[in-house]
């Protein structure tokens, strides 16, 4: 006897569709070369999420050290009714970077949207998570969109013009943008949502440095493996010859800027080839792979206001570690 989850993946449900925008899914060679030519060297965190990277991210989320996942989930579990009351039923929910689509599940029974659209660069995650979601919620239209959720109007043709649009951006993925890029993203989002639109945005909040640094240095080593997997991916997809043993994971809280930084540090002097390009590394030189900005309630509210949103409601946990903002287009 199969479990309902196994059954769900056997046949693609009628209420599920998958489309590709053609602007994500693979590593962009040109973007990587431009980043590695900079000082300090940089590679975008959006390239973390190949099948292995997504698997490692999901493993990070299960650790005790990585508090954001369970804290945000706790807010949805306890506040789903209150969140739904702010939004109302029959909407089109568009989730940015849904990953395993587990967070939207915590809201669907209360939110009762008509359509769910998940936009992610990770085709593997969409293929794994989309059909079971559609099978478990047969009343919901589920559309998985493989592509970059950055500025683009390509998504528009997959959205209906009738129902109210609600953006769902959990996980503090917005914290991986620089604050000005986050503002620009929200500004573009406001246009896409239209004047009746609103957004549910999960934002990690500032807290003691020890808690932040532990979250990005889990004792299981998943974050280290997640960071180093980027090099494995560049080797496979771009024909690079990084030796993962010659780099180490480094993550720390930059208190002055209010962000956790992740880097890959070269442990020796070395040269690395990426396609026909060669890059030199001094010992201790880093590739900057991710920023994870941590906000105060006030600072994020002000950023959203500069992007044309009003904070309709704010939810948090008892330690004030994570914030869920309900934003409405002004």
Closest distance of CB 119 from ligand SAH, Å: 6
| Part in contact with ligand SAH (CB under 6 A); list of ranges 118-126, 208-216, 273-281, 303-311 | 118-126
DSSP letters for 177-234:
S-HHHHHHHHHHHHHHH-TT-EEEEEEEBP--HHHHHHHTS-TT-HHHHHHHHHHHHH
Does residue 216 interact with ligand SAH by CB under 6 A?
Answer: no
Q: Are 6 and 130 in contact (CB under 8 A)?
A: no
41, interface contact from ligand AVI, ligand SAH, none, CB < 5-8 Å by kind = none
Whose CA is closest to 119, among 76, 165, 162? 165
218, interface contact from ligand AVI, ligand SAH, none, CB < 5-8 Å by kind = none
How many CB atoms sit inside 10 A of residue 90's CB? 12
| Tokens 């959720």 sit on residue | 149
Nearer to ligand AVI, 91 or 292 (CB): 292
Nearer to ligand AVI, 127 or 261 (CB): 261
Distances (CA, A) of 2 to 6, 7, 10, 133: 6, 6, 10, 17
Distance from C-alpha of 136 to C-alpha of 330, rounded to nearest angstrom: 35
125, interface contact from ligand SAH, ligand AVI, none, CB < 5-8 Å by kind = ligand SAH
| Part in contact with ligand SAH (CB under 6 A); list of ranges 25-33, 142-150, 222-230, 255-263 | 142-150
Omega into 40 within 30° of 0, i.e. cis? yes
Is residue 152 within a helix (H) or strand (E), and if so which, with residue range? none
| Part in contact with ligand SAH (CB under 6 A); list of ranges 92-100, 217-225, 255-263, 306-314 | 92-100
| Part in contact with ligand SAH (CB under 6 A); list of ranges 116-124, 210-218, 230-238, 258-266 | 116-124
Does residue 61 interact with ligand SAH by CB under 6 A?
Answer: yes
Distance from C-alpha of 96 to C-alpha of 186, rounded to nearest angstrom: 12
Choose, by CB under 6 A, the member of 71, 115, 122, 206 that binds ligand SAH: 122
Whose CA is closest to 110, among 132, 93, 96? 93
Choose, by CB under 6 A, the member of 98, 130, 131, 197 that binds ligand SAH: 98
120, interface contact from ligand SAH, ligand AVI, none, CB < 5-8 Å by kind = ligand SAH
User: What is residue 92's three-state secondary structure?
Assistant: strand
**173-192: contacts with ligand SAH (CB under 6 A):** 173
Nearer to ligand AVI, 128 or 218 (CB): 218
Q: Which residues bind ligand SAH (CB under 6 A)?
A: 24, 46, 49, 57, 61, 69, 97-99, 103, 119-122, 125, 148-150, 170-171, 173
């Amino acid at each position: 006897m199969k479990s309902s989850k196994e059954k769900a993946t056997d046949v693609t449900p009628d209420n599920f569709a998958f489309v590709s925008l053609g602007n994500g899914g693979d590593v962009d060679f040109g973007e990587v070369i431009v980043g590695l030519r900079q000082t300090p060297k940089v590679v975008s965190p959006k390239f973390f999420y190949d099948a292995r990277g997504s698997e490692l991210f999901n493993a990070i989320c299960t650790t005790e050290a990585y508090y954001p996942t369970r804290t945000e989930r706790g807010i949805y579990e306890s506040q789903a009714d209150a969140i739904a009351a702010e939004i109302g039923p029959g909407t089109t929910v568009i989730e940015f970077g849904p990953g395993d689509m587990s967070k939207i599940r915590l809201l669907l029974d209360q939110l009762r949207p008509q359509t769910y659209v998940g936009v992610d660069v990770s085709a593997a995650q969409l293929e794994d998570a989309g059909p079971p979601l559609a099978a478990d919620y047969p009343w919901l239209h589920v559309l998985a969109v493989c592509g970059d959720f950055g500025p683009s109007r390509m998504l528009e043709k997959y959205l209906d013009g009738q129902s109210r649009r609600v953006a769902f951006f959990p996980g503090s993925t917005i914290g991986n943008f620089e604050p000005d890029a986050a503002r620009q993203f929200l500004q573009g989002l406001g246009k896409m949502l239209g004047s009746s639109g609103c957004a549910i945005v999960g934002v990690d909040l500032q807290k003691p440095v020890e808690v932040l640094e532990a979250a990005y240095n889990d004792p299981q080593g998943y974050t280290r493996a997640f960071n180093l997997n980027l090099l494995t991916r560049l080797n496979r997809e771009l024909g690079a010859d990084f030796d993962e043993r010659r780099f180490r994971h480094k993550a720390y809280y930059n208190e002055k800027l209010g962000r956790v930084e992740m880097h890959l540090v070269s442990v020796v002097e070395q040269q690395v080839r990426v396609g026909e390009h060669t890059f030199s590394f001094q010992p201790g030189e880093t590739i900057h792979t991710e920023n994870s900005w941590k906000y105060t309630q006030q600072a994020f509210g002000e950023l959203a206001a500069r992007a044309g949103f009003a904070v309709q409601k704010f939810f948090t946990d008892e330690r004030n570690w994570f914030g869920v903002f309900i934003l409405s287009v002004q």
